[in-house]
Amino acid sequence: MRRLFPAPAGPDLDDDVLAAAYRLPPGRALRVDFVVSLDGSISVDGRSAGLGSPGDRRVFRVLRALADVVLVGHGTAAAEGYGPVGGDSPVARLRARLGRPPALPIAVVSRRASLAPGDRLAAAPTLLVTCAAADAGRRAELAGAGVTVLVCGDDDVDLPTALDALADRGLAQVTCEGGPQLLRAALAAGVVDELDLTIAPALVGGAARLLDAAPGGPGEDTVVRPELRQVLEEDGVLFTRYALPRRT
């Protein structure tokens, strides 16, 4: 993997250089990580793996290694078969090498508290980010199984409140792994600091897009204009970092 912008480097960036290329300054941040095709599609047959590449998996691992917590919509956690991150996994090993605790908590966002008791994520250190309207019995059952249940909002999840609650627990640097509904809500709430898009050289078509509707809040300019900060490349795949102006 090589760096094209801002300062060309490579051609074989090692893991330490890659981690440095993605490290955030200390403090709170929400970065969003997606792999997309050239036409903005985010999945092939319902999963992102069809757009993946060795470089994408490597950047995905680095972003997990640098994060305090992964934030993910329940739809993505279910579609992609999310499980706990720790043990002897490549991410845990990379985290240990970077001086981080090997286990990485996953925070599942679900208005309806859809995480099923018995699911392999339904245990510590998983967090559930939900709202007061979610079934109280389900919330209690998940809490009893060791899940940290964060009630953030009444009828819907309030993402700024959720990020405050995570930061209060020392989970300040958040990597959001989608999906599109969660991305749109985070953009509408103005809480996204960075978009890390892997652009795969593929044309896919279909309805599953990065955004299925305008991201602005009511009455606002709906076009968000991120600023390019970095481009890496490997095998024709582009790995970009874009900064967004925070509105909250």
Ligand X SMILES: NC(=O)c1ccc[n+]([C@@H]2O[C@H](COP(=O)([O-])OP(=O)(O)OC[C@H]3O[C@@H](n4cnc5c(N)ncnc54)[C@H](OP(=O)(O)O)[C@@H]3O)[C@@H](O)[C@H]2O)c1
- Interface residues toward ligand X, by CB under 6 A: 34-35, 42-43, 46-48, 51, 73-76, 79-80, 109-112, 114, 156-157, 177-182, 185, 208
Q: How far is the CB of 194 from ligand X (least distance, A)?
A: 15
Q: Is 95 or 111 the residue whose CB approaches ligand X more closely?
A: 111
Least CB distance from residue 99 to ligand X, whole Å?
Answer: 27
How far apart are CB 62 and ligand X at their closest, in Å?
A: 15
22 vs 142: CA distance, rounded Å: 34
Minimum gap (Å) between residue 76 Cβ and ligand X: 3
Which CB sits closer to ligand X, 9 or 145? 145
Q: Are 131 and 111 within 8 A, CB to CB?
A: yes
The amino acid that residue 159 corresponds to is L
The smaller minimum CB distance to ligand X, of residues 87 and 117, is found at 117
Cα 241 to Cα 60: distance, rounded to the nearest angstrom: 13
Q: In one letter, which amino acid is 225?
A: R
Half-sphere exposure of 5 (CA within 13 A, CB side): 10
How many angstroms separate the most distant Cα atoms in the chain? 55
Rounded to a whole number of angstroms, the minimum distance from the CB of residue 71 to ligand X is: 10
> Which stretches of 134-177 are DSSP H helices?
136-144, 159-168
Q: How far is the CB of 12 from ligand X (least distance, A)?
A: 25
Nearest to 240 by CA among 10, 32, 90: 32
Nearer CB in complex with ligand X: 26/218: 218
Task: Report DSSP state, residue 160.
Answer: H
Q: By C-beta, is 154 or 156 nearer to ligand X?
A: 156
d(CA 28, CA 68): 10
The nearer residue to ligand X, 15 or 80, going by C-beta atoms, is: 80
- Return d(Cα 83, Cα 117) in angstroms, integer: 13
Of the pair 36, 172, the CB lying nearest ligand X is at 36
Contact 233, 1 (CB under 8 A): yes
Q: Give the closest residue to 68 by CA, choosing from 20, 30, 120, 122.
A: 30
What is the Cα–Cα distance from 83 to 182, expressed in whole angstroms?
A: 19
